[in-house]
Amino acid sequence: MYVILVSAAHAWGLRGHRIVARIAENHLNETAQSQVKELLGSDTLTKVANEADSYRSDSKWKCAAPLHYVSIEDNEQYLTAEKHAQGDIVRAMFYFEDILRDEKSTKPMKAIALKWLVHLVGDIHQPLHVGRSCDRGGNSTKVRWFGSDSNLHKVWDSQLINHEELSYTEFADFLDKADQPRIEPSNYIAWSNEARQLRQQLYTCLAKDNCCERNAKRACKAPATEFGSCSAEAPELTVNVEYAYVEKNRELLNRQLLKAGLRLADLLNRIFAATPLSDQEKAARVAIEKIRRDAGDPVKDCVMQAVK
């Protein structure tokens, strides 16, 4: 099977998704491993982790573009945020999980749902996939990346990861050590709110980082400057994203990749063991059902149309 590689505006890069999938593979229990094999055949989670991005070049999946992200403004939470008419990453994840849990789903449908879920657990841990709409999740926040034109979204999707010059296996092994965060019971709504909270750090540069030094008009005298095309000063301010920014954000980047991998493994272990939903997962589903009643089910409509 050919996978057409496209560079997309909204996606952890290829390596980011593979790191997440690789960490998850290290933590799948036997039941999940055999179910994954049953659904994917000789393919692995790592191999299929980017397939949902390759759908972008496929006209029948055009409707799925909004499923890779969600816009939540700074003072909002997922449930209160305005909903995209074509769906979002949170609703998509609930939908694909339910297909995997449903005994009546066909094997090809479950395989598609698994590929999507592996991909989206990665995306939702890239804090700019839970973006502000005013700068399209950092896509329109221009920055200079070691002297080249870039934007903040691209920095976080791929440039910070590639900067480490580790292969995805090396990166996964490096992150996946004994000292690990405990994976608490959670749900996709909580993950989106968490990413929304984390993203503020991504828009902050400190004067001591020299991240504004080439902005003559605005010398960045303030100890900390928030940048981004959502702020009024933005037209004068294109920050230099260089070593100091990389150092300052490395821990957050690594933590998100590791958490995504561990959460993905935990999720698949529970799905394939048919573990009953926790109370908070049930409560989240009630909230999602309400959104479906009010706004329809664009995720389902899109997937049904794409696979028919």
Q: Which is nearer to Zn ion, 35 or 137 (CB)?
A: 137
**CA 157, CA 205: separation in Å to the nearest integer?**
19
Helix (H, G, I), strand (E, B) or coil at 167: coil
Q: Which is nearer to Zn ion, 126 or 240 (CB)?
A: 126
Question: Distance of alpha carbon 294 from its chain centroid, rounded?
Answer: 26
Interface with Zn ion (CB under 5 A):
11, 53, 68, 123
As measured in angstroms, the least distance from the Cβ of 215 to Zn ion is 32
SS3 assignment, position 218: coil
**Is the Cβ of residue 25 or residue 53 nearer to Zn ion in the bound state?**
53
Could you give the CA distance from residue 197 to residue 71 in angstroms, rounded to a whole number? 13
Q: Which is nearer to Zn ion, 12 or 145 (CB)?
A: 12
CB of 283 to Zn ion, least distance (A): 27
Q: How far is the CB of 119 from Zn ion (least distance, A)?
A: 6
Q: Smallest gap, in angstroms, from Cβ of residue 132 to Zn ion? A: 18
- Which of residues 27 and 68 has its CB atom nearest to Zn ion in the complex? 68
User: Closest approach of Cβ 53 to Zn ion, in Å?
Assistant: 5
Instruction: Kindly give the pairing relationship between strand 204-206 and strand 224-226.
Output: antiparallel
What would the 3-class secondary structure string for the chain be? CCCCCCCCCCCCCHHHHHHHHHHHHHCCCHHHHHHHHHHHCCCCHHHHCCHHHHHHHCHHHHHHHHHHCEECCCCCCCCCCCCCCCCCHHHHHHHHHHHHHCCCCCHHHHHHHHHHHHHHHHHHCCHHHEECHHHCCCCCCEEEECCEEEEHHHHHHHHHHHHCCCCHHHHHHHHCCCCCCCCCCCCHHHHHHHHHHHHHHHHEEEHHHCCCCCCCCCCCCCCEEECCCCCCCHHHCCCEECHHHHHHHHHHHHHHHHHHHHHHHHHHHHHHCCCCCCHHHHHHHHHHHHHHHHHCCHHHHHHHHHHC
* Cβ distance to Zn ion smaller for residue 55 or 227: 55
Q: In the bound complex, what is the minimum distance in angstroms from residue 224's beta carbon to Zn ion?
A: 31
Query: 53 vs 281, which CB is nearer to Zn ion?
Result: 53
| Smallest distance from Zn ion to CB 209, Å | 29
Give the residue with the Cβ less far from Zn ion, 123 or 266.
Answer: 123
**Please, what is the minimum distance in Å from the beta carbon of residue 187 to Zn ion?**
20
